[in-house]
A = this chain, B = another copy of it.
Amino acid sequence: MSKSISIFDTTLRDGTQGEGISLSADDKLKIAKKLDDLGVHYIEGGIPGSNNKDIEFFKRVKELHLHAKITAFGSTRRKNSTTEHDENLQRMIDAGVPAATLVGKSWDFHVHTALQTTLEENLAMIGESIAYLKRKGLEVIFDAEHFFDGYKNNPEYAAAVLGAAREAGADWLVMCDTNGGTLPNEIQEIVSGLALQLPGAPLGIHTHNDCELAVANTLSAISAGARQVQGTINGYGERCGNANLCSIIPTLQLKMGYHCIPGDSLPQLTNTAHYISEVANVNLPVNQPYVGNAAFAHKGGIHVSAILRDSRTYEHIAPELVGNKQRVLVSELAGQSNVLSKAQDMGLSLDPSSEQARKVIDKIKNLEHQGYQFEGADASLELLLREATGEMNELFTFESFKMLVEKTAGSPVVSEAFVKLKVGGDNLYTAAEGNGPVNALDNALRKALLTYFPQLKDMHLSDYKVRVLDEKDQTAAKVRVLIESKDYSDTWNTVGVSSNVIEASWEALVDSMRYALLGQISLENDTEVSSGPRGLVNH
Contacts and interface: CB of A to CB of B under 8 A. Distances in A.
Interface of A: 16-20, 22, 24, 26, 50-51, 75, 109-110, 113-114, 178-181, 183-185, 209-213, 215-216, 219-220, 223, 235, 237-241, 244, 247, 251, 255-256, 281, 283, 285-290, 292-300, 302-303, 306, 309-310, 312-317, 329, 331-333, 373, 375-376, 397-409, 413, 415, 434-439, 441-442, 460-472, 474-477, 479, 483, 498-503, 505-506
A413 B498 contact: yes
21 contacts: A19-B299, A19-B329, A109-B313, A110-B313, A114-B309, A114-B313, A183-B256, A211-B290, A212-B244, A239-B296, A239-B298, A281-B467, A285-B285, A399-B409, A401-B406, A402-B406, A405-B500, A413-B503, A415-B500, A434-B476, A464-B474
- A-B CB proximity, top 3 nearest: A181-B316, A216-B216, A212-B247
Contacts of A438: 475, 501
Contacts of A403: 404-406
Contact of A287 (B239, B465, B476): B239
A407 B285 contact: no
Contacts of A312: 109
Contacts of A285: 285
A295 B240 contact: yes
Given A306-B114, A405-B502, A474-B439, A19 B281 contact: no
Given A19-B287, A212-B247, A237-B287, 8 more contacts: A20-B376, A212-B244, A401-B406, A402-B404, A403-B405, A413-B503, A438-B475, A441-B475
B18 A294 contact: yes
Contacts of A289: 180, 209-212, 240
Contacts of A476: 434-436, 439
A56 to B, nearest CB: 12
A297 B19 contact: yes
Nearest to A462: B474
B247 A315 contact: no
Nearest to A474: B461
Contact of A501 (B247, B287, B408, B501): B501
Given A178-B314, A213-B216, A238-B299, A407 B19 contact: no
Contacts of A462: 471-472, 474
Contact of A283 (B237, B294, B314, B471): B471
A456 B109 CA distance: 50
B466 A183 contact: no
A185 B288 contact: no
Given A287-B241, A316-B180, A501 B437 contact: yes
A464 B26 CA distance: 25
Copies of this chain assembled into the complex: 2
Contacts of A220: 184
B113 A407 contact: no
Contacts of A333: 16-17, 50-51
B332 A51 contact: yes
Contact of A503 (B288, B407, B477): B407
Nearest to A216: B216
A466 B235 CA distance: 23
Contacts of A290: 210-211
A240 B300 contact: no
Given A183-B251, A313-B110, A500-B413, A471 B475 contact: no
Contacts of A310: 113
Nearest to A398: B409
Given A462-B472, A500-B437, A185 B300 contact: no
Nearest to A332: B51
A407 B400 contact: yes
Contact of A464 (B184, B298, B436, B477): B477
A7 B244 CA distance: 28
Contacts of A409: 397-400
Contacts of A51: 332-333
Given A400-B406, A400-B408, A460-B474, A20 B375 contact: yes
Contacts of A16: 333
Nearest to A306: B114
Contacts of A240: 287-289, 292, 294-295
Nearest to A314: B179
A332 B51 CA distance: 9
B298 A238 contact: yes
Contact of A306 (B113, B314, B503): B113
A188 to B, nearest CB: 9
